[in-house]
Amino acid sequence: MLPSVFYRDLDKVPSLFGTSLLNDLIEGGHQAALRPAVDIGETEDAFLIKASLPGIKSDQIDIKLDKDKLILETKLEDSKEESSENWFRKEIHAGQYRRVFTLPDTIKRDAIDAKLDEGLLTIVLPKGEEHQPKTIKIS
């Protein structure tokens, strides 16, 4: 358990892409194990999401856009091999892996790109023009 001093103010840390540090710490357990670990960052021209998906092939990954949400899903199948091996510990979980990110309005949705290289999925979200306030004249 983390000391209360550590997580006491985490809810005040701004969240990026709809993910807060506090929620990630609270979720723990088996469900959190089925969420691929991600790094989120940015360059001058784009936001980046990198997801660790070892053993997953590109045809097993679904990336969807739904309104302002980017949804990353994949499924890890349990090995169907018959084996004489007896496992003492199993930490590789089969099941549905899913992450949902709330995207900023300024993303160029038509230019999003994704690449998988040796178990690391990189999603590039190009930045668009900042929304400028607009004054509407009354006629």
pLDDT digits (tens, 9 = 90+) for 85-112: 777 887 777 788 889 999 888 889 999 9
* Residues pairing with 122 in the sheet: 50, 115
Whether residue 138 lies inside any domain: the answer is no
pLDDT at 134 over 50: yes
pLDDT value at 3 more than 60: no
Long-range contacts of 122-127 (CB under 8 A, 24+ apart): 122/48, 122/49, 122/50, 123/48, 123/49, 123/50, 123/51, 123/63, 123/70, 123/72, 124/46, 124/47, 124/48, 125/46, 125/47, 125/48, 125/49, 125/70, 126/45, 126/46, 127/42, 127/45, 127/46, 127/47
| Residue 22 domain-assigned (yes or no) | yes
Give the chain's domain count: 1
The answer to whether position 137 is within a domain reads: no
Residue 80: band (very low, low, confident or very high) from pLDDT cuts 50, 70, 90:
low
For position 112, which CATH number holds? 2.60.40.790
What pLDDT, in 10s, does the model give residues 4-62? 444 444 444 445 455 544 444 444 444 444 678 899 998 888 999 999 998 889 999 99
Establish if 97 belongs to a structural domain. yes
pTM: 0.67
Asked if the structure places residue 83 within a domain, the reply is: no
109 domain-assigned: yes
Tokens of 5: 């001093």
- Looking at the domain assignment, is residue 38 inside a domain? yes
The boundaries of the domain holding residue 112 are 12-77+93-126
49 assigned to some structural domain: yes
Secondary structure (DSSP) of 26-77: HH-HHHHHTS--EEEEE-SSEEEEEEE-TT--GGGEEEEEETTEEEEEEEEP
